[in-house]
Amino acid sequence: MSIDNAIKYKFNTGDNVLYGTNVICTSKKIGDLKQVFQNEEARSTMEQESIVYSVSLLQPIEAGTVGGLFIGTTIIEQGQVDQEYYMTKGHIHKNTSSSEFYWGTKGTGMVLMMKTDRTYHIELMSPGSIHFIPPETAHRVINTGNEKLIFNACWPADAGYDYETIYNEGFSCRIFNQHGIPTIIDIEK
Ligand code: M6P
Ligand code: ZN
């Protein structure tokens, strides 16, 4: 029998970031998000080094391990590209049978989930809200509030990422700030 006295991994409730070995921190800046927002010209003239969102990702087991789990915390800054709110790139899992949980801890936003037939549904994210993302569902989070949006995620270690499909085909709706109101606009492919 052995007891680990030291906390191996930690979610810091102060800065909302994960700590421990095997934690990888990345951020996506305006300059990294080419073609993500509708108004590409507006994005290209913004400060390219400005952070849109940051992810700290705990990989306690090798990526691709069947039966393994990853956990991550994402902080989406408050901001817009033209009228479109800051959001994650969004992805589908390479292993399409993989699902995922998202849950909100700070701020407010929307979880956009789109099926392969491009039908979508949106769930409102707020502190304590839990969102189940089923298999074969593209997902993205949009910060529609007036502060940072912070959420956690847990997903299979063998889920993988397919960003290409979303990059090429986009989601079937976008969320804009129209006179202070988050407004969902359907997008033709
Ligand atoms: C969540 C998880 C991560 C993902 C991150 C940012 O934390 O789903 O796997 O990387 O959000 O989303 P994206 O990869 O779409 O930019
Ligand atoms: Zn995912």
Strands 9-12 and 17-20: antiparallel
What pLDDT score does 50 carry? 98
Q: How far away, in angstroms, is 91 Cα from ligand 1 center? A: 8
pLDDT in tens, 28-79: 999 999 999 999 999 999 999 999 999 999 999 999 999 999 999 999 999 9
Q: How far away, in angstroms, is 152 Cα from ligand 2 center? A: 11
pLDDT in tens, 134-166: 999 999 999 999 999 999 999 999 999 999 999
5 has pLDDT over 80: no
Task: Report the distance separating Cα 91 and Cα 160, nearest Å.
Answer: 10
Which architecture does CATH list for 9-186?
A: Sandwich (2.60)
Q: How far away, in angstroms, is 90 Cα from ligand 1 center? A: 7
Are 180 and 127 in contact, with CB atoms under 8 Å apart?
A: no
Residue of minimum CA distance from atom 6 in ligand 1: 88
156 φ, ψ (degrees, to nearest 5): -65, 140
Task: Report the distance separating Cα 50 and Cα 17, nearest Å.
Answer: 19
User: What type of residue sits at position 140?
Assistant: R
Backbone region of residue 25 per phi and psi (left: phi > 0; alpha: psi in -120 to 50; beta: other values): beta
**pTM confidence score:** 0.96
Strands 173-178 and 130-133: unpaired
What pLDDT score does 167 carry? 95
164 φ, ψ (degrees, to nearest 5): -60, -45
Which atom of ligand 1 is the closest one to the Cα of 152?
Answer: 7
Q: Which ligand is nearest to the CA of 76?
A: 1
pLDDT in tens, 166-183: 999 999 999 999 999 999
For the chain, give every domain's residue range.
Answer: 9-186
Which atom of ligand 1 is the closest one to the Cα of 163?
Answer: 15
Are 160 and 94 in contact, with CB atoms under 8 Å apart?
A: yes
119 has pLDDT over 80: yes
Quick one: which of 50, 59, 53 has its CA closest to 27?
Answer: 53
Contacts of 106 (CB under 8 A, 6+ apart): 16, 127, 147, 148, 149, 150
